[in-house]
Structure 1
């Protein structure tokens, strides 16, 4: 086991390097970089307009701007150095977990991630908890009643919910419950006077604001976990040891929960670490934009659009590293759930 873990850890290094190298190379050919956007701003133009266009041999926005000033901007962003030198410098910073400083925010990448993370945690963690707490018992109930009317109706409802995009459901919820009925707020995670509220009122206010965003996110997450639980349970129910347990006189409840469910947990538990960690770091751009939630999804989108390369590469490095470690933990969960599994 130790040698397997060591090999997996060593394999993370070339994987990280490959991801960063590919992204860094692509960035070199993307037009409308931070230098061009700064020049466009100096000329009084919007950074998303002419600043994003490249024609012929050069960038139009440089016309009328002093060459010395352009070179000063290039030095400010570090673009006066060769790409290989910039890539090597980036790797040395990432090795000590220095993610750099944003081009457009007066903050480091770490500070931006920590600032935006509470929103994504609120959205992702509630989605994760509700998905598992509802989907797993529902999947077990569907497996026990396989082929019944309950199974058919719930399958239809789950698949219809899975087919509806989260942002479409979000728009519908906003129009009905936020606009017409005015039961829930239209935006944000808290009210403007949240700091002046008591702790009980703060919790109530937070839960009041999170209902619609979570409802929009959680509906599509039901289908996969529910059907995975059902199929895993059905596969175990048909095995010989279930007949043996029933023949010994064990109650159906004990057979299902103590024997069948334990063996059916393997595909669920092994995906648990990835889903749990993902709840802290994933951000839904459309949901966050729709409900005016300033989270990691919106940060990633704005960083790409504004060509904020330190934020793009820094968050990519952090999330890729977390993803690789989580994948290793998921694989090790196989051994924890079923000691018969060997990686030799």
Structure 2
């Protein structure tokens, strides 16, 4: 198990290097750069463009260098914890991101826990009690969650909370704590506001998990070993927990690798709608303004979440199913 853990850990290094190359290529894809966009905006307003200032900024930010050299400078900066410089905000990217990074991480983890805690028992119950009232109710919730876009659900909640209760449920804290130092009261305010975006963002993921776990469990419950166990007189709970559930969990655990980045990317529009101080709105803004290093930092963050999520799911799968860490077959 230790050797498998080490191998998977070592694979992450070249994977992240390749991802960094792809991310840098993506942020370079739009024609021009931030300075050219700035020139176009100033000319559209009828302002005179200071070419010497533009040339100075291009040299200062390294935009006059070949792309491969720009990539190496950016990569070395990443390895040293320097995410680059935001052209639009005229600040280091680390300072621009600020608390947004931690808000995004907290929201993503809370939503992931919400998804698994809710979908796990509902999926099992729905499979064991197939075609019962509870199964039909879970199916309805699943279809609703899959059909309703997250941002539309957020708009509906915002509207009815204001119309029925006169409440504004946007944001992640009370207005008086915005920009204030961290205190116990501010943390409590964040916790009190966290459950609403967690519910909105986690609805679709929870619905998909319920349907997937239900399908896997139903498939396992029809296997011959379950029928044999029932014939031997084993209790239904023991049969479910010892055999079908364990085998049905493989795809369930494998989804960890994708649910974290899906939560972050799916939260972008929800963050804009609900005015959440997370990475989503700032990522959209950086892409629109071609603030390449700010956008690159966000894309690397999401890509790193994918790699870490896949690593966690692989380790959990190896612990659950020895065939995975043993290579899937015995040597001949």
Q: Distance in 2 between matches of 1:65 and 1:250?
A: 82
1:23 is matched with which residue: 21, 26, 47?
26
Deviation at 1:309, TM superposition (A): 1.1
1:103 and 2:106 equivalent?
Answer: no
Q: Distance in 2 between matches of 1:131 and 1:70?
A: 49
1:175-227 CA distances to partner (integer Å, 9 max, x unpaired)?
111x212364242211133469994x656643443343233222212221001
Per the alignment, in what secondary structure is the counterpart of residue 26 of structure 1?
A: coil
1:213 and 2:229 equivalent?
Answer: no
1:244 and 2:247 equivalent?
Answer: no
1:176 and 2:179 equivalent?
Answer: no
**How does 1:107-256 map onto structure 2 within 5 Å?**
107-177=91-161, 179-182=162-165, 184-194=167-177, 199=184, 205-256=189-240
1:303 is matched with which residue: 267, 286, 298?
286
1:337 and 2:296 equivalent?
Answer: no
2:71 is matched with which residue: 87, 91, 96?
87
Where has structure 1 moved over 6 Å in runs of 4 or more?
195-198
Per the alignment, in what secondary structure is the counterpart of residue 173 of structure 1?
A: helix
**Number of aligned residue pairs:** 322
Q: Distance in 2 between matches of 1:339 and 1:111?
A: 45
1:289 is matched with which residue: 267, 272, 278?
272
Deviation at 1:319, TM superposition (A): 3.0
Q: Name 1:12's counterpart in structure 2.
A: 15
Deviation at 1:163, TM superposition (A): 0.2
Deviation at 1:18, TM superposition (A): 4.3
Name stretches of at least 5 consecutive residues in structure 2 with no aligned partner.
Answer: none
CA-atom RMSD, angstroms?
A: 3.2
1:327 is matched with which residue: 302, 305, 310?
310
Q: 1:276 to 1:21 in 2, by over 3 A?
A: closer
1:265 is matched with which residue: 249, 256, 269?
249
Q: 1:303 to 1:211 in 2, by over 3 A?
A: same
Q: Distance in 2 between matches of 1:296 and 1:166?
A: 17
Q: Distance in 2 between matches of 1:343 and 1:144?
A: 32
Per the alignment, in what secondary structure is the counterpart of residue 193 of structure 1?
A: helix
Deviation at 1:297, TM superposition (A): 0.8
Q: Distance in 2 between matches of 1:145 and 1:277?
A: 32
Q: Distance in 2 between matches of 1:323 and 1:224?
A: 19
Q: 1:208 to 1:99 in 2, by over 3 A?
A: closer
Q: 1:64 to 1:235 in 2, by over 3 A?
A: same
